[in-house]
Chain A
Amino acid sequence: MEGRSAGDVIFKIALTGAALSVPTLLGFLVFELWAGSRLAIAKYGLGFVTGTTWDPVAEDFGALPLIFGTLVSASIALAIAVPLSLGVAIYLTEFSPKWLRQPVAFLIELLAAIPSVVYGLWGIFVLVPVLKSTVFPFLRDTLGFLPFFQGPIYGNSMLAAGIILAIMVMPYIMSVSREVLNAVPASQREAAMGLGATRWEAAWTAVVPYARSGIIGAVILGLGRALGETMAVTMLIGNRNEIAASLFAPGYTMAAVIANEFSEATTDMHFAALTYVALVLFAVTVLVNAMARLLIWRVGRGKPSGGQGA
Chain B
Amino acid sequence: MNRVVWRRWKSRIMVSLLIASVLVAVAPLILILGTLIIRGAGSINFDFFTRMPAPAGEAGGGVAHAIVGTLLMVGTAGLIGLPLGIGAGVFCSEFPRSKLATTARFVADVMNGTPSIVIGVVAWTLIVARQKHFSGFAGSAALAMIMIPMVLRTTEEMIKLVPHSLREAALALGYPRWRTSLSVMVRTCLPGIVTGSLLAIARVAGETAPLLFTALGSQFMGTNLRQPIAALPLTVFTYATGPYDDWHRIAWATALVLIMVVLCLSLIARLATRQRFHD
Find out whether A and B make contact in their complex, taking CB atoms under 8 A apart as touching: yes
List the interface of chain A (C-beta within 8 A of B): 2, 4-5, 7-8, 10-12, 14-23, 25-26, 28-29, 32-33, 35-36, 83-85, 87-88, 90-92, 95-96, 104, 106-108, 110-111, 113-122, 124-126, 167, 170, 174, 198-201, 204, 221, 224, 227-231, 235, 255, 258-259, 262-263, 274-275, 278, 281-282, 285-286, 288-290, 293
Which of the residues A90, A117, A286 comes within 8 Å of B114, measured between beta carbons? Answer: A286
Q: What are 15 A-B interface contacts by the 8 Å CB criterion?
A: A18-B85, A18-B88, A22-B104, A87-B21, A111-B28, A111-B29, A113-B262, A114-B29, A116-B207, A121-B251, A124-B241, A125-B240, A229-B115, A230-B209, A255-B117
Residues of chain B within 8 A (CB-CB) of A125 are: 35, 39, 240, 248, 252
* Contact across chains for A259 and B262 when beta carbons are under 8 A apart: no
Report if A278-B113 is in contact (Cβ < 8 Å); known contacts: A18-B91, A26-B107, A200-B15: no
Query: Which B-chain residue is minimally distant from A168 (CB atoms)?
Result: B28
Q: How far is the CB of B37 from chain A (nearest CB, A)?
A: 12
Residues of chain B within 8 A (CB-CB) of A114 are: 29, 32, 206, 259, 262-263
Q: Does B63 contact A (CB under 8 A)?
A: no
A4 to B176, alpha carbons, bound, how many Å? Answer: 8
Residues of chain B within 8 A (CB-CB) of A22 are: 84, 88, 103-104, 107-108, 111, 148-149, 152
Report if A228-B32 is in contact (Cβ < 8 Å); known contacts: A110-B266, A289-B113: no
* Contact across chains for A18 and B83 when beta carbons are under 8 A apart: yes
Do most interface residues of chain B lie in helix, strand or loop, or is the interface mixed? helix
* Contact across chains for B14 and A84 when beta carbons are under 8 A apart: no
Beta-carbon contacts under 8 Å, B1-59 to A: 7-8, 10-11, 14-15, 17-22, 24-26, 28-29, 31-32, 35-36, 39
A240 to B88, alpha carbons, bound, how many Å? Answer: 43
Which of the residues B24, B91, B121, B134 comes within 8 Å of A19, measured between beta carbons? Answer: B91
Residues of chain B within 8 A (CB-CB) of A85 are: 25
What range describes how many residues of B lie at the interface?
A: 35 or more
* Contact across chains for A25 and B100 when beta carbons are under 8 A apart: no
Residues of chain A within 8 A (CB-CB) of B29 are: 107-108, 110-111, 114
Beta-carbon contacts under 8 Å, B62-99 to A: 83-88, 90-92, 94-95
Residues of chain B within 8 A (CB-CB) of A96 are: 22
A15 to B84, alpha carbons, bound, how many Å? Answer: 8
Q: Does B158 contact A (CB under 8 A)?
A: no
Residues of chain B within 8 A (CB-CB) of A285 are: 113-115, 118
Do most interface residues of chain A lie in helix, strand or loop, or is the interface mixed? helix
Q: Does B181 contact A (CB under 8 A)?
A: yes
* Contact across chains for A117 and B208 when beta carbons are under 8 A apart: yes
Report if A88-B266 is in contact (Cβ < 8 Å); known contacts: A19-B88, A107-B29, A117-B206: no
Q: How far is the CB of A39 from chain B (nearest CB, A)?
A: 12
Report if A278-B240 is in contact (Cβ < 8 Å); known contacts: A15-B90, A91-B18, A110-B29: no
* Contact across chains for A274 and B148 when beta carbons are under 8 A apart: no
Residues of chain B within 8 A (CB-CB) of A104 are: 22, 26
Query: Which A-chain residue is minimally distant from B265 (CB atoms)?
Result: A113
Which of the residues A8, A23, A228, A288 comes within 8 Å of B103, measured between beta carbons? Answer: A23
* Contact across chains for A17 and B87 when beta carbons are under 8 A apart: yes
* Contact across chains for A95 and B18 when beta carbons are under 8 A apart: yes
Which of the residues B121, B152, B208 comes within 8 Å of A116, measured between beta carbons? Answer: B208
A35 to B124, alpha carbons, bound, how many Å? Answer: 13
* Contact across chains for B209 and A95 when beta carbons are under 8 A apart: no
Q: Does B168 contact A (CB under 8 A)?
A: no
* Contact across chains for B122 and A28 when beta carbons are under 8 A apart: yes
Q: Considering the complex of A and B, which 7 residue pairs feature the smallest CB-CB distances, nearest first?
A: A228-B115, A18-B87, A115-B206, A87-B21, A11-B178, A289-B113, A200-B11
Report if A11-B181 is in contact (Cβ < 8 Å); known contacts: A91-B22, A117-B237: yes
* Contact across chains for B209 and A115 when beta carbons are under 8 A apart: no
* Contact across chains for A263 and B111 when beta carbons are under 8 A apart: no
A22 to B89, alpha carbons, bound, how many Å? Answer: 10
Which of the residues A10, A11, A124 comes within 8 Å of B240, measured between beta carbons? Answer: A124
* Contact across chains for A235 and B118 when beta carbons are under 8 A apart: no
A87 to B140, alpha carbons, bound, how many Å? Answer: 39
Query: Which B-chain residue is minimally distant from A199 (CB atoms)?
Result: B11
Beta-carbon contacts under 8 Å, B240-270 to A: 240-241, 248, 251-252, 255, 258-259, 262-263, 266, 270
Query: Which B-chain residue is minimally distant from A229 (CB atoms)?
Result: B115
Report if A198-B8 is in contact (Cβ < 8 Å); known contacts: A115-B233, A227-B115: yes
Query: Which A-chain residue is minimally distant from B254 (CB atoms)?
Result: A121
A304 to B86, alpha carbons, bound, how many Å? Answer: 35
Q: How far is the CB of B174 from chain A (nearest CB, A)?
A: 11
Residues of chain A within 8 A (CB-CB) of B95 are: 15
A29 to B29, alpha carbons, bound, how many Å? Answer: 34
Q: Does B185 contact A (CB under 8 A)?
A: no
Query: Which B-chain residue is minimally distant from A109 (CB atoms)?
Result: B270
A4 to B116, alpha carbons, bound, how many Å? Answer: 41
Report if A289-B121 is in contact (Cβ < 8 Å); known contacts: A108-B26, A121-B251: no
A204 to B176, alpha carbons, bound, how many Å? Answer: 53
* Contact across chains for A15 and B91 when beta carbons are under 8 A apart: yes
* Contact across chains for A33 and B8 when beta carbons are under 8 A apart: no
Q: How far is the CB of A38 from chain B (nearest CB, A)?
A: 11
